[in-house]
Amino acid sequence: MILRSVINWPTRGWRSPFDELERIQREMDWLSEGLTGRPSTEFSAGVFPLVNVTEDKDNYYVRAELPGIKADKVDMSVTGNSLSIAGERKITPENGDYHRREREEGKFSRIISFPMQIDQSKVEAQASDGILTVVLPKSETEKPRQIAVKAA
């Protein structure tokens, strides 16, 4: 008991030594956010393509940067609450002498899960200027319902 109260000193729990490290990291992130004005560590699963997910009342929006990839070359499927994106980027080799070759080709596939069921029949996707946008309507059954309070 005495030992425990010593470890718990001063007030923070000591369940895991990593709690403290995580707290320090959060505080450092918060500090650098204040300096640069934007999130320092973007959340990333590290899987191509990188996506930005936004939402409004009715839909989720998934956007990915896929330069040089035609929309019909991307395979997309929706199941329940997840979206899978797969495809391949092919770069036709140019004739001539390469000075630089930085653009990369290859296959990709990724699955993104949402916290809500998706209305599969109404999912729409479009691509413009190398940005793929997928609009996923939230399922009607899971949308929050307004509850009217009756006056007694």
Member of 21, 24, 39, 111 binding another protein (CB under 8 A): 39
Q: What residues contact 103, with CB distance under 8 A and at least 6 apart?
A: 68, 91
What is the Cα–Cα distance from 132 to 112, expressed in whole angstroms? 14
Member of 21, 24, 111, 131 binding another protein (CB under 8 A): 131
Q: What is the CA radius of gyration of the chain?
A: 23
For residues 113-129, one letter each, b for 16 or more C-beta atoms within 10 angstroms of the residue's C-beta and e for the rest, the string is: ebeeebbeeebeeebee
Q: Which is nearer to another protein, 3 or 63 (CB)?
A: 63
The 8-class DSSP code of residue 143 comes to S
Member of 14, 26, 68, 111 binding another protein (CB under 8 A): 68
Member of 76, 78, 125, 127 binding another protein (CB under 8 A): 127
Contact status: 47 vs another protein (CB under 8 A): yes
Member of 1, 5, 129, 152 binding another protein (CB under 8 A): 129
Token code pair at residue 30: 């918060």
What is the Cα–Cα distance from 84 to 109, expressed in whole angstroms? 7
**Binding segment toward another protein, per CB under 8 A, in 11-19, 24-32, 60-68, 139-147:** 60-68
Q: Which is nearer to another protein, 49 or 118 (CB)?
A: 49
Residues making contact with another protein (CB under 8 A): 38-39, 42-57, 60-61, 63, 65-70, 89, 91, 94-108, 127-131, 133
